[in-house]
Amino acid sequence: MKTLLHFATIRFMPFAETQEFANVGILAFTPNGNFVDYKLAPTRFKRINEFFEDFDGQLYACALTSFEVELKRVKDFCHYLHGQQLVDLMNEVTRTREGIIVFGELSATLTENPKITLERLFDKYIGRNFQQQIEYRETQMVRALRKNLTNLLPKEVRYKETSLDVGYTAYKLPLVAKVANTVKTIKPLAFNQSTTLMLTEHGDRWISRVKHLLKANVIQKENFLFTIERPTNEKDEFHQSFEVIYGGMKELGVEIIPYESKEDIIEFAQFDELNNSANFKLSH
């Protein structure tokens, strides 16, 4: 049986005069009092610094932490309220007021499972921002790596975006180089997703793609590299999700190197064929 779920976005708006804001959470409740809950973005959110260039990310983290304390207090108090009393309280909680973190207008939707709907609302209003952040971060990682590889490797080695065909489909990889009959591939992965579901799905997607590439013998496991950034969210569930994904990558038998280990990445990216050729020439 469906029930009515009221919800409001939680907005980070440091400069009231410009009215610019970023959605950082959702507060939701059912008038019958069976469900009152919220979901917030992590306190470390690079997009905040990118969007509000002259705003200190530490102040955002402190503001969000303080706001969560208030939300917990409201949630606990709501256990004693039902019906119109609860609606009146939530109208007061979410009313327009001055502050760095404020609420958007209350909206409503029908749901059979309020908790699942809260997750979906979070993914819709906030998760999209995080996914764009992750994609942008991985683009930055690719750009920086390509520059380093171009500067530090022989001119015969050029890592570029390439589609690798497995016969029944093709997968686009950001950094691929070929020398003689050897193909090497590097895929940067950032694990700063806003939910464990998004983190898991992102990792699983690339594990699956690499499985197809290996099975089709398009690449060899020793010639594929995941270079990774671990989760910045310090909650246990994020680290548990990451460890499951990390284990899946290890099972592939491919190389895994932290993104900050630049020297190790450069070492992987080199081709023995060129070194052997150089040694052969020197010996003669």
- CATH number of the domain residue 212 falls in: 3.40.1350
Q: Are residues 137 and 278 in the same domain?
A: yes
Identify whether 182 is part of a domain: yes
Q: Is 206 within the bounds of a domain?
A: yes
Say if residue 23's pLDDT is above 90: no
What's the mean pLDDT when you consider all of the chain?
86
Could you tell me the maximum CA-CA distance found in the chain, to the nearest angstrom? Answer: 91
Is there a single domain that holds both residue 169 and residue 103?
A: no
278 and 137 together in one domain: yes
Contact 106, 7 (CB under 8 A): yes
Residues 11 and 106 in one domain: yes
The yes-or-no verdict on residue 282 having pLDDT over 50 is no
Q: Considering the domain boundaries, does residue 124 fall inside one? A: no
Our count of domains for the chain comes to 2
Q: Are residues 88 and 183 in the same domain?
A: no
Residue 16 lies in a domain: yes
Looking at residue 55, its pLDDT comes to: 58
Residue 122: inside a domain, yes or no? Answer: no
For residues 45 and 138, membership in a common domain is answered with no
Same domain flag for 137 and 253: yes
Q: Which residue in 172, 127, 175 sits closest to 148, CA to CA?
A: 175
Are 167 and 277 part of one and the same domain? yes
Considering the domain architecture, whether residues 155 and 46 belong to the same structural domain is answered as: no
- The identity of residue 174, as a single letter, is P
Query: Coil, strand or helix: which one is 18?
Result: coil
Amino acid identity, position 11: R
Domain edge (last residue) among 45, 78, 112: 112
Q: Domain containing 43: what range? A: 3-112
Last residue of a domain, one of 82, 112, 142: 112
Q: Are both 156 and 46 inside the same structural domain? A: no
The residues with which 187 forms a beta bridge, in sequence order, are 226
Pairing of strands 224-229, 182-190: parallel
Asked whether residue 139 carries a pLDDT value surpassing 50, the answer given is: yes
Identify whether the C-beta of residue 274 lies closer than 8 Å to the C-beta of residue 178: no
pLDDT in tens, 106-117: 999 999 999 999
> Which residue, chain included where needed, has tokens 């497995």?
166
pLDDT mean over 127-135: 58
Question: If pLDDT is split at 50, 70 and 90, which confidence band does 283 have?
Answer: very low
- C-beta separation of 24 from 41 below 8 A: yes
Residue 127, domain member (yes or no): no
For residue 131, the model assigns a pLDDT of 54
Residues 193 and 81 placed together within one structural domain of the fold = no
Residues 89 and 138 grouped into a single domain:
no
Burial bucket for residue 240 (CB in 10 Å: 0-12, 13-18, 19+) = exposed
In a domain, 117, yes or no: no
